A = this chain, B = another copy of it.
Amino acid sequence: MSDGATTLRGGIDLGGTKIQTAIVDSTGKVLGESRGPTPTSGGPEDVAGAMAEALREAAGEAEVETSALEGIGVGSPGDVDEKTGVVTGARNLPGWDGSFPLGATLTGSLGAEVRVGNDVQVATEAEFHLGAGREFKSLVGVFWGTGVGGGLVLDGKPWLGRGAAGEVGHIVVKRGGAKCPCGRKGCMEAYAGRGAMEAEARRQHADGVKTDLFKLMRKHERDRLTSGIWERAIDNNDHLAEDLIARAIEALGTGIASAVNLLDPEAVIIGGGLGVRFGERYMEPLTKEMGKHLFLDEKPPAVRVVTLGDLGGAIGASLLFAR
């Protein structure tokens, strides 16, 4: 590996539950990777420490020193300042309500330049360059997981707006509708996010609606309704699970259609935990729901499921050095 070492890059995908890292060469090939849990206590320093340790592990597998990397990209939740590497208000991470200089801290511990980008945006760019979006010049990435995040590539380039573009999950699908985890009403995420789906399932279960969702959750020793639990329930024809997935698909189709009416992109790429698990299975109802609201319904964009899987975020982060 050593002859290519000067063009190797690191990528770290910082998620609420796991930290995924990769060492990637200039062709997109992954030479080393690691995956571990995100600290659930402490503060940003502890999270940064776990990130550095995880990247060192991947670098060891790739037989490269972290200081020899061209750079290390990070895909982070929260409000990311790409210019300074400061991350603010990453609320699903421990003690991270304020601002923390994530880029500078990691540069200090890893000895390489660090760039920080939005987690979902870099995953969208990874799919654009190396995954499901390779054949297109413009795309909307929709990451359907605990929340619903998004990223944009327009005319081959990331579109970040003033730094916060891509909030596809907070496109309103029903004015005055369901309460969203973001505190507002009627967002796509209020119907389609796994967090909102679980809250609705708990409400209906408490109201006496029959479901095996929580029985399955306990049986598989989970403390929340993971995408795997949803899948098992649906495989067993659990009516509540089916209803809530159908409701999620309606909201996704509606909100994605609004985004398409505004941007007219070549493609929509579906990722995220639920997107990877259910994207192909529900492709037909999803595109049907979209079609109901597409202004040019005879010319819909391509809709594809991500192909880089769990590694997309880390690979996309490494591509912050290829922009």
* A contact set with B: CB distance below 8 Å: 138, 150, 152, 154-155, 159-168, 170-177, 182, 184-187, 250-251, 254-255, 257-259, 261-266, 292-293, 295-296, 299, 301
Residues in B neighbouring A254, C-beta threshold 8 A: 172, 175
Contact of A264 among B165, B261, B262 (CB under 8 A): B165
Residues in B neighbouring A150, C-beta threshold 8 A: 262
Q: Give Cα A261–Cα B171 distance, bound, in whole angstroms.
A: 7
Contact check, B161 vs A258: say whether CB atoms are below 8 A apart. Answer: no
Contact check, A172 vs B264: say whether CB atoms are below 8 A apart. Answer: no
Known: A167-B295, A264-B161, A299-B164. A257 touches B172 (CB 8 A): yes
Q: Give Cα A137–Cα B38 distance, bound, in whole angstroms.
A: 38
Q: Give Cα A170–Cα B297 distance, bound, in whole angstroms.
A: 12
Q: Give Cα A185–Cα B257 distance, bound, in whole angstroms.
A: 12
Residues in B neighbouring A174, C-beta threshold 8 A: 174-176
Residues in B neighbouring A160, C-beta threshold 8 A: 264
Contact check, B170 vs A173: say whether CB atoms are below 8 A apart. Answer: no
Known: A175-B254, A258-B172. A159 touches B165 (CB 8 A): no
The 9 nearest A-B residue pairs measured at CB: A161-B264, A165-B264, A167-B261, A171-B258, A170-B295, A170-B261, A167-B295, A164-B264, A174-B175
* Shortest CB distance A141–B (Å): 12
Q: Give Cα A261–Cα B182 distance, bound, in whole angstroms.
A: 13
Residues in B neighbouring A255, C-beta threshold 8 A: 172, 258
23 pairs of residues in contact across A and B, judged by CB atoms under 8 Å: A152-B262, A154-B154, A155-B159, A161-B264, A162-B264, A164-B264, A164-B296, A168-B262, A172-B173, A172-B254, A172-B255, A172-B257, A174-B176, A175-B251, A175-B254, A184-B293, A184-B295, A185-B292, A185-B293, A186-B293, A187-B293, A255-B258, A262-B262
Known: A162-B299, A167-B295. A259 touches B262 (CB 8 A): yes
Known: A154-B154, A161-B138, A164-B299. A293 touches B262 (CB 8 A): no
Contact of A164 among B292, B293, B295 (CB under 8 A): B295
* Shortest CB distance A62–B (Å): 36
Contact check, A161 vs B292: say whether CB atoms are below 8 A apart. Answer: no
Contact check, A184 vs B292: say whether CB atoms are below 8 A apart. Answer: yes
Beyond A155-B159, A167-B295, 9 additional contacts (C-beta under 8 Å) are A150-B262, A154-B159, A159-B263, A161-B264, A164-B264, A167-B262, A170-B293, A184-B293, A262-B263
